A and B are shown apart, each in its own frame.
Chain A
Amino acid sequence: EPEVTQTPSHQVTQMGQEVILRCVPISNHLYFYWYRQILGQKVEFLVSFYNNEISEKSEIFDDQFSVERPDGSNFTLKIRSTKLEDSAMYFCASYTGYHGYTFGSGTRLTVV
């Protein structure tokens, strides 16, 4: 069964530092997403990516966030200057109409 792979599984960073979360989506999928889940809260949409560009972003996805698909396989989420409230589980996902969404196992980001 194809998988979405995320690295690292856990990242601890100092407030104000930049972090890059990495994802390898399923290779023949065309739609890619980042979601996050703050502890005890709902999974919430951050950004969608299609045809090598952002197709939609949420209010959360401000100028501190960016996404890239640098080499046609990896899909990254960068947070430029982390805040305490960025601490959350970040999920990468890819989508097909037949299987629906496939999520990665997530990166737990802790900002201290």
Chain B
Amino acid sequence: KQEVTQIPAALSVPEGENLVLNCSFTDSAIYNLQWFRQDPGKGLTSLLLIQSSQREQTSGRLNASLDKSSGRSTLYIAASQPGDSATYLCAVRVQGGSEKLVFGKGTKLTVNP
């Protein structure tokens, strides 16, 4: 059974700092991995999608990497801003069945001005 773990559970940084969020998964049989952002009480906004054959994806100040064999992904945020404050969720799309997403519990990021 696929399990996704995100470390740390919470992170507080000063504005301008570069930071890394970590995600690990137990079963490397995945189609892809997706990072989402969730603001309090809101929906999930897709940030980056990495296919299982890819090593990384970039969008603006965000860079996500994937090491499928070791079951790890990182989300790198450059030059953090207060508007980046949110919970960041990592999810893997499992192979087999309906290929559902399995989520981690998230990292709650606070960027202080």
Asked whether B7 is an interface residue with its Cβ less than 8 Å from the other chain, the reply is no
Using known A-B contacts A43-B89, A48-B100, determine if residue A101 contacts B105 with beta carbons closer than 8 Å.
no
Chain A interface: which of B17-25, B42-50, B76-84?
B42-50
- The answer to whether B105 touches A42, judged by C-beta atoms less than 8 angstroms apart, is yes
Tell me the bound Cα distance from A104 to B36 in angstroms. 12
Neighbour of A43 across the interface among B41, B49, B103, CB < 8 A? B103
* Chain A hits for B85, CB < 8 A: none
* Chain B hits for A101, CB < 8 A: 34, 46, 91, 93, 101
- The answer to whether B43 touches A56, judged by C-beta atoms less than 8 angstroms apart, is no
Using known A-B contacts A42-B103, A43-B89, A43-B103, determine if residue A103 contacts B97 with beta carbons closer than 8 Å.
no
- The answer to whether B100 touches A33, judged by C-beta atoms less than 8 angstroms apart, is yes
Give chain B interface residues in 1-59, CB to chain A under 8 Å. Answer: 32, 34, 36, 41-46, 49
Using known A-B contacts A56-B98, A108-B41, determine if residue A100 contacts B104 with beta carbons closer than 8 Å.
no
- Most chain-B CB neighbours within 10 Å: which of A33, A45, A104? A45
- The answer to whether A99 touches B49, judged by C-beta atoms less than 8 angstroms apart, is yes
Count contacts on A: residues with CB < 8 A to the other chain: 25
Q: Mark A76-108, 1 if CB is under 8 A from B, else 0.
A: 000000000000010101000001111111101
Asked whether A35 is an interface residue with its Cβ less than 8 Å from the other chain, the reply is yes
- The answer to whether A43 touches B91, judged by C-beta atoms less than 8 angstroms apart, is yes
Asked whether B62 is an interface residue with its Cβ less than 8 Å from the other chain, the reply is no
Tell me the bound Cα distance from A104 to B43 in angstroms. 6
Asked whether B102 is an interface residue with its Cβ less than 8 Å from the other chain, the reply is yes
Q: How far is the CB of B17 from chain A (nearest CB, A)?
A: 27
* Chain B hits for A102, CB < 8 A: 46
Task: Pull 15 A–B residue pairs with CB atoms less than 8 Å apart, ordered by A.
Answer: A31-B98, A42-B104, A43-B44, A43-B89, A43-B103, A45-B100, A45-B102, A48-B99, A55-B98, A56-B97, A100-B32, A101-B101, A103-B43, A103-B46, A108-B41
Across chains A and B, which 9 residue pairs bring their CB atoms closest together, nearest first?
A: A48-B98, A56-B98, A105-B43, A100-B49, A103-B44, A43-B103, A55-B98, A45-B100, A106-B43
